[in-house]
């Protein structure tokens, strides 16, 4: 099962998710194995709402409310895209590859798709080699064991029977913090995701993209081959 499939299945099975996130936590705090981090994040976010009681901190309150709305948009996007995480990865690599020297594009495509012939059809529909490479990289990463395992760990611990509302509030806090980190790290990509109503889902692809973004911004890759080799090395794809 691919990462986006697991995320969609989890959200679909917990149909009260959007309402729980929107309304915050209303249940009684109970301890549950494996959810301490989510609970702590939920308590942290709830404490931030005390700023709404202080006039000079109303801007903080407005920012939290905006993130609530953006989270709902992002949840809806999970069901609107066939593979939402792959689409997010594609948006990044399509943009960054435009800034990197393509060098030997035919060789790059052969290097990238060697041994993954089931992705070949995606190359045929791309009008440019750069888009073909971006499509293939995003597919490889979206379907990788690394990303699937990461998403499973991030969302498998949600247990509706016990502390669902607070955990989901904590999940939203982590998503919001990841989006804020991205905004500081790579504003251009942040606004691409924002316009697509996907920035609150960056939390799930951050483990895949964070190091790549840092290295790209530092000029670590002089051409596309170096980027491809680094991705294959880091994620064994």
Block residue for tokens 């670590």: 220
Global confidence as pTM = 0.76
Copy the structure tokens of residue 3.
């990462």
Copy the structure tokens of residue 141.
């990463």
Tens of pLDDT, residues 34-47: 456 676 777 777 77
Q: How confident is the model at residue 31 (pLDDT cuts 50, 70, 90)?
A: very low
Taking the C-alpha atoms of residue 135 and residue 137, their distance in angstroms, rounded to an integer, is 6
Tens of pLDDT, residues 74-93: 888 888 888 999 999 999 99
Please give the pLDDT value at position 91.
Answer: 95
Block residue for tokens 């920035």: 199
Tens of pLDDT, residues 107-157: 555 555 554 444 445 554 445 677 888 888 888 898 888 898 888 777 765
Higher per-residue pLDDT: 200 or 122 = 200
Copy the structure tokens of residue 81.
């895209």
Q: How confident is the model at residue 33 (pLDDT cuts 50, 70, 90)?
A: very low
User: Which whole-number Å values give the CA distances from 26 to 40, 42, 75, 101, in the listed order?
Assistant: 15, 11, 21, 53
**Domain ranges for the chain:** 3-235
Taking the C-alpha atoms of residue 34 and residue 36, their distance in angstroms, rounded to an integer, is 6
């Amino acid at each position: 099962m691919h990462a986006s499939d697991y995320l969609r299945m989890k959200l679909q099975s917990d149909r009260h998710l959007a309402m729980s996130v929107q309304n915050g936590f209303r249940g009684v705090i109970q301890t549950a194995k494996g959810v301490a981090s989510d609970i702590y994040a939920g308590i942290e976010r709830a404490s931030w709402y005390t700023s709404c009681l202080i006039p000079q901190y109303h801007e903080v309150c407005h920012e939290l409310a905006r993130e609530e709305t953006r989270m709902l948009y992002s949840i809806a996007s999970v069901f609107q895209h066939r593979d939402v995480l792959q689409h997010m990865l594609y948006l990044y690599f399509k943009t960054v590859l435009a800034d990197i020297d393509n060098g030997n594009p035919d060789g790059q495509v052969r290097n990238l798709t060697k041994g993954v012939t089931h992705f070949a059809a995606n190359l045929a529909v791309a009008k440019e080699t750069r888009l073909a490479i971006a499509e293939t990289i995003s597919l490889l990463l979206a379907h990788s064991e690394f990303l699937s395992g990461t998403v499973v760990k991030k969302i498998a611990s949600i247990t509706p029977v016990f502390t669902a509302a607070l955990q989901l509030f904590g999940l939203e806090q982590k998503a919001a913090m990841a989006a804020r980190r991205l905004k500081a790290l790579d504003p251009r990509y942040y606004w691409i995701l924002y316009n697509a109503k996907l920035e609150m889902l960056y939390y799930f692809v951050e483990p895949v993209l964070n190091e790549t973004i840092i290295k790209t911004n530092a000029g670590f890759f002089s051409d596309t081959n170096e980027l491809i080799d680094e991705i294959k090395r880091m994620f064994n794809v």
